[in-house]
A and B are shown apart, each in its own frame.
Chain A
Amino acid sequence: MSHPPMPDADELACLDELIADLPPQADQLLPFLHRVQERLGHVSPAAMRFAAHAFNLSRADVYGVVTFYGDFREAPVGDTVVQLCMAEACQAVGARALAAHAEQRLGVPLGSSTADGTHHLEAVYCLGNCALGPSIRVKDAVHGRVSPSRFDTLLELRAIDRSRS
C-alpha cells in the first residue's frame, strides 16, 4: 500500500455525515463501510484512511477488512449491479446456462463491468430463493425463475427505469 490520498472536501463532508451517529468503536467498522459502499459505490483508499483514523485502527486493518468481504469494492463498478446466484440449487435449474447468456448479452465475464459503465455482472452464492431458481438480484429486488429471455426483459425494464429518472 502506498500512501492513500486524503479525502477531498466533498468526500470528507460525506464521510463525516455517514459516521456522525456511529460510536467510535472498532466494531462499527463494518456498519460504516456498508454506508460508504452504499452511498459512494465503493470504498476508496481515502475512505479507508478516514475509517482507520476514526476507529483507531491501522490502515492495514481496514484494508484487510475491505478486501476480505465480498460486498466491499475498492474501485467503482458499473451503475446497475446484476448478481446471479451460482449456488447449487440454482445450478440444478440452469444457473450456468443463465450466466453464459448474461455474459454474452452484456459482453463481459462474471465479475466485471461493461465498457459503457452501465452494468456490473457478478456471481453470488445464494439469495435464499432456492426453490424458485435461477435467481438474480438487481438492487434490492430478487427475481425468481429467470430464464434467458426473462433476463433480457428485466434488463430492458431497468434500462427504462434509468431513462425515466
Chain B
Amino acid sequence: MSTRVFIPNDTAARSMGADDVAHAIAVYGERMGLDLTIVRNGSRGAAWLEPLVEVETTAGRVGFGNVMPNEVDTLFVHGQVNLAHDRCLGTVESHPWFAAQQRITFRRAGVIDPLSLADYEQHGGLAGVRRALTLSAAEIVADITTSGLRGRGGAAFPAGIKWNTVRQATDTTKYIVCNADEGDSGTFADRLLIEADPYQLLEGMIIAGLAVGAERGYVYLRSEYPWAITVLREAVARAYAAGLLGTHVLGIGPRFDVEVRVGAGAYICGEETALLESLEGKRGVVRAKPPLPAMRGLFGRPTVINNVLTLAAATDVLAAGGARYAALGLDRSTGTMPFQLAGNIRCGGLVELPFGRSLRSVLDEFGGGSLSGRPLRAIQVGGPLGAYLPEHLWETPLAYESFSAVGAMLGHGGIVCFDDTVDMAEQAEFAMAFCAHESCGKCTPCRIGSTRGVEVIQRLRRREESRRQWQLLEELCETMEFGSLCALGGLTPLPVRSVMTHFAGDLLTPVGGTGQ
C-alpha cells in the first residue's frame, strides 16, 4: 500500500522551503522505487517546526521537524520511516507541544488535505450545518447565545446578540460578511485556518446565513495573504461544484452564495464599518455608529459581520450544542482561543487552549524561551493596539476581562515577544507612527494627534524638555482616547501608555546627562 507523506502547503511552511522539500521527496521516492503519495496538508501551526514532514505509519503520523530538501533521503531507511533520525519527533499527536493543546477550531488544521471535501466530512465537517438545517433560525441563534461565543476579531462582542438583531430585522435582503482582514501584527490564525481548513469558514457562513435569513456572504480577505486567497477561491469553487453552496445548500437548504473580495492594503479596513465601505467600492473610511451594521450594514442592509474564527467556531457550537462549548473557558470568556506566539520566541506558532491559562504558563509550556536566547523583557498582546506587558503582568490569565483589568487587551490573541535589547521608546513611537500611517482621516485626534504623538515621543527620545513632553504625551493620549471615532485612534494610547507606565525609564533615563 502506498505510504502517505504530508508536507504542509501553507504560507509559513512554504516560507521555510516546504515546496522544495515536497519536490525532493517526490524525486527521492521515484528514484528509490518507494510507493509514496504526497499530500499537501495545511499547517498544524507549529511554525517553529516548519517544514514539518509527516509520514503515515501503522502507529500514527510520524513527524520530522525543520526538514531541509537535502535531508529527505535520510527520512527513510530500506523504505521504512527512520525513527532514529535526529529530526524525528515521534508521532506528532503525542508530541507535548500538540498534546497539551485543546484543539477544537483547529483540530483539522494540518491533519487534512485542505481542499478535500471528503477529508473535511470524514473529520467531522458539515455536522454543524447538517444540524442547523434541522433547526429554526431562532433555535440556531439560541444555540449560539447559549455557547457564550464572543467575537474573536478583537472587540469580543457576543455573537448571539449580533445574530439575533439581524435575524429580527425585517428586510428581505441581508448579508453575512466575514472579516478576514487580520491586520494585527503577531496574528496569523485567520490565515492559517483559511489555508488549512477553508470549508470550516464556508460552513460557518452558511450557518450564519441560515440563522438570520441571509442568502449571500462576502469574505473580505487581505491582499497581503496571496496564498490564502488562492486556497479560499478554490474552496468556494469546489463547494459550488459539490452543492454545498448555490441554489440549495446540501441539496435541501435555501440558497447561499459566497464571494471572496480582496482588500487593498489598508489596516483600517479591518474595522467593520470601514470594511463595509471598502466592500462597496469606496475608501475605507469609518462610519459613525449607530446605525449598527446589524441594522444597516452592507449596501444599507442588515449584516452579520464576524471574524473568521467566530464563524469557524459556530460550526462546532452547532455540531456539539451551545452548552458543550460554554463549558470551556473562564467566566464570560467561553470556549477556546487560538493564541499566536510570535516575535522573539523559539517555539512560535498557534496554540489553541481554553481561555483562562496565564500568559506565563503558555510561554513556559509552549514558547521554549526567546529566539535570541536573551531574557524576554516585554510582550505585546492583542496587536498594534494592545499593551506591552512587563514581566510582573505575565501572570494575567488569558481572558477578555482579566486583560482589560490590567489595562491590556486580548484582541485577536497575538502574543508578540521582545527580548531585553528592545528599546521601548522606539516601540511607543512606532505605535503612534502606525496610527498616523493607517488613520482613515475622519477625525482630528487620530489623524493629527498621532503625528503629534510621533513628534513628542521623538523629543522625549532625544531627552528634550522631558517633563513637559511627558505631560504633553499624557494629554495627547487622553484626547485621542476620548475624541476618536473608532478604536484605531482610541486605542493607540494603550501601547503608548503601557510604555509610559511600565517602561518609563526608556523614555526618561538621562542620555549622558540629567533628564529634567
Contact = CB atoms under 8 A, between A and B. Distances in A.
B266 interface: yes
A131 B348 contact: yes
A125 B223 CA distance: 12
Nearest to A69: B264
B272 to A, nearest CB: 17
A89 B185 contact: yes
Contact of B281 (A30, A125, A131): A30
A125 B267 contact: yes
A67 to B, nearest CB: 9
A130 interface: yes
A127 B265 contact: no
B188 A124 contact: no
Most B CB contacts (10 A, CB to CB) among A61, A92, A137, A142 go to A92
Contacts of A65: 281-283
Interface string A135-164: 101001111110000000000000000000
Contacts of A69: 263-266, 283-284
Given A27-B279, A132-B15, A133-B343, A33 B422 contact: no
Interface string B224-248: 1111100000000000000000000
B343 A93 contact: yes
Binding site of A, secondary structure by majority: helix, strand, loop or mixed? mixed
Contacts of B342: 89, 92, 130-131, 133
A65 B282 CA distance: 6
B264 A89 contact: no
Interface stretch (B203-211, B249-257, B413-421): B413-421
A63 B417 CA distance: 40
Contacts of A27: 279-281, 299
A83 to B, nearest CB: 8
B185 A90 contact: yes
Contact of A132 (B12, B192, B282, B438): B12
B197 interface: no
Contact of B226 (A64, A88, A140): A140
B281 A29 contact: yes
Contacts of A112: none
B262 interface: yes
* Minimum-distance CB pairs A-B, first 8: A131-B348, A70-B265, A87-B185, A92-B343, A69-B264, A144-B15, A131-B47, A130-B342
